Structure 1
């Protein structure tokens, strides 16, 4: 694995609640802030490309727009990818593949989402009917199964036997961990302030199990999934600098060697389980088991979904997102997979929390993306 690409820097914006502190920032605004910060530390390393994931932005090539807005030379191309919630991590997977294939230098890769400024989307009119606004494009064909993420999370949790109490307890723990990390300055080194915001907006010290228990079911009558044990709707960007092995040797800086990546498909009716399939594949390719992993970062879209994945993997939930996850920090869709990579970098490289890390995220439509790294 000594020839594998290496992540040598990782940064993100604070994550804002949609309609609040970052509401005036477009996707390009958010991404440009992170890109400019990472590009400023490259020195003489040639920058080959910018790859960004995005789900709900203005369309076109957001990566190219953000790269130019960040002041990069016009000679640096940009590529925007869409694997829905997995887009940010998928962008990093593409960067790693590009460098494995023989490219040299650096690729900036990550993701961005501005739910606040996402354009309205309309199906064109049929006959005399008016155009119909829709919240999301299809994740899968209707006859295969195309549930909204909330009802899908209810199904996954119910089938795994994860009750409301367990989901609320997990959500409360995520907030408590994020607040503790925030208060200890544990996020400070990874943050690029934007629009006057220098801290994540969502973590709440007062979000206890008791308070969560008073919330109503969000998606099904009598269901266990609520707005309290689900992620928020958020704005933010995150990216990493990936270099080839030779460039890393020349730089001589600490980083995260990418041991393996994986992208998997699962039942579209149970999209949250994409974490399981992708994590297993990535670990197998890295020649590791979960017991060999020091830091585990799963995207916490829903507490019940994460707990169901942990049960399937026979993984102690206490090991997941030890500094708080998306339930507390937020889930800026296209950026969230890249946020996981930033969190691994902070804990393993900056914080010395161990040697190996696993990041994994589930995707609407029944997919999962995962990455295994080690310090070097």
Structure 2
């Protein structure tokens, strides 16, 4: 068996749904990133063909997005593809699955990540209405059976923030900080080496300066008199992110991120945002690592209240002493949340912060995401040189 190592990591700029990338389909988002990652690992690809492509996707057109994107990227017709749906954790789950292929000896070079086009996701309708009435719009697939409440994500974030005592002020402050970090990172060029322009978009289009006074006046978005607003929530977005994983015996001295441990766990379906807590605890326990050993943490920022509920439970203070540990360059609140891709975006960000950033061998980083339906996913990575 060989330990899987991420040796290349790229992403598209993230575009807010309905804007610059509104006409770029999900396969066309993924294809140029796949092609770029193949180029990045040259000449490994000359010595060893790509064994598989694993992509996360939530609301695409169906079929097998990974296979379509692989062919569109110019990969050989012998390269297969599989599409993973773990909702907002799909991109990270795809990377963990690719790592399992390599660890088991079934593959030596796999491209993995995720892609989502909220702009071009098809609208669906019932052919036969479930209640026997007239066919009508199909709003969304259920996250859970009705007996578990099947909450929308915004409502669930509100419930979690209330259950964990996360105030509106902290949520607004965290959202403002995420945007401020992302603007600083973008202006400093810290995203440049991971970006592959697509659809005329060359940089993330969402980060902006948030006025605390304006944030404080924004109305509740999901629950009357609630604390979750449009200002402290992510935006539905378009984007793709891909990494290349190889066996440690194949990396030939290339620096990268060794996948130490990964986990997908279930939690209360009524509070799906809680999922990262047990997932993180499981991977840390499996690796014999403490949170204090980590140099970087990337969490998919779907809602500020959800992130703070998770970080509070883990003993992290992202508005204080851990501001440079947790999403140091901002996250999905600032950049946007292309659902099936976001779990891979956080791994690309870890790669940028640690590998491109020059962290020494042995440095540890963590990526995690909450998942609709009551799940969490986490991956622990270690820098190798």
State the TM-score, normalizing by the size of structure 1.
0.97
Residue 163 of structure 2 corresponds to which residue in structure 1? 159
Aligned partners of 1:272, 1:128: CA distance in 2, in Å?
A: 34
* Aligned 8 A contact 2:354 2:383 in 1: yes
Aligned partners of 2:138, 2:313: CA distance in 1, in Å?
A: 34
Q: What does the per-residue CA deviation read over 1:268-289, in whole Å, with 9 as the maximum and x for residues that have no partner?
A: 1000000111111111111101
Given the alignment of the two structures, is residue 347 of structure 1 paired with residue 353 of structure 2, yes or no? yes
Residue 244 (structure 2) aligned to one of 241, 244, 248? 241
SS of aligned partner of 2:40: coil
| 1:129-168 matches, cutoff 5 A | 129-168=133-172
Residue 190 of structure 1 corresponds to which residue in structure 2? 194
Aligned partners of 2:371, 2:132: CA distance in 1, in Å?
A: 36
* Aligned 8 A contact 2:116 2:238 in 1: yes
* Aligned 8 A contact 2:9 2:242 in 1: yes
State the TM-score, normalizing by the size of structure 2.
0.94
Q: What 5-or-longer segments of structure 1 have no aligned partner? A: none
Residue 224 of structure 2 corresponds to which residue in structure 1? 221
Residue 372 (structure 1) aligned to one of 369, 375, 380? 380
* Aligned 8 A contact 2:234 2:336 in 1: yes
SS of aligned partner of 1:116: coil
SS of aligned partner of 1:21: coil
Residue 344 of structure 2 corresponds to which residue in structure 1? 338
- Does 84-93 or 116-125 show the bigger shift? 116-125
Residue 261 of structure 1 corresponds to which residue in structure 2? 262
- CA shift, 1:104, in A, is 4.2
- CA shift, 1:105, in A, is 2.6
Aligned partners of 2:175, 2:367: CA distance in 1, in Å?
A: 19
SS of aligned partner of 1:300: coil
Residue 98 (structure 2) aligned to one of 90, 95, 111? 95
Residue 309 of structure 2 corresponds to which residue in structure 1? 308
- Does 292-301 or 39-48 show the bigger shift? 39-48
Q: What does the per-residue CA deviation read over 1:5-54, in whole Å, with 9 as the maximum and x for residues that have no partner?
A: 10000000000000100011000000001011111233223210000000
Give the total of aligned pairs: 372
SS of aligned partner of 1:66: helix
Residue 29 of structure 1 corresponds to which residue in structure 2? 28
Given the alignment of the two structures, is residue 323 of structure 1 paired with residue 323 of structure 2, yes or no? no
Q: Structure 1 pair 128/267, CA: closer, same or farther in 2 (3 Å)?
A: closer
Aligned partners of 2:40, 2:79: CA distance in 1, in Å?
A: 16
- Does 345-354 or 196-205 show the bigger shift? 345-354
Q: What does the per-residue CA deviation read over 1:257-312, in whole Å, with 9 as the maximum and x for residues that have no partner?
A: 11000000000100000011111111111110100000000110000000000111
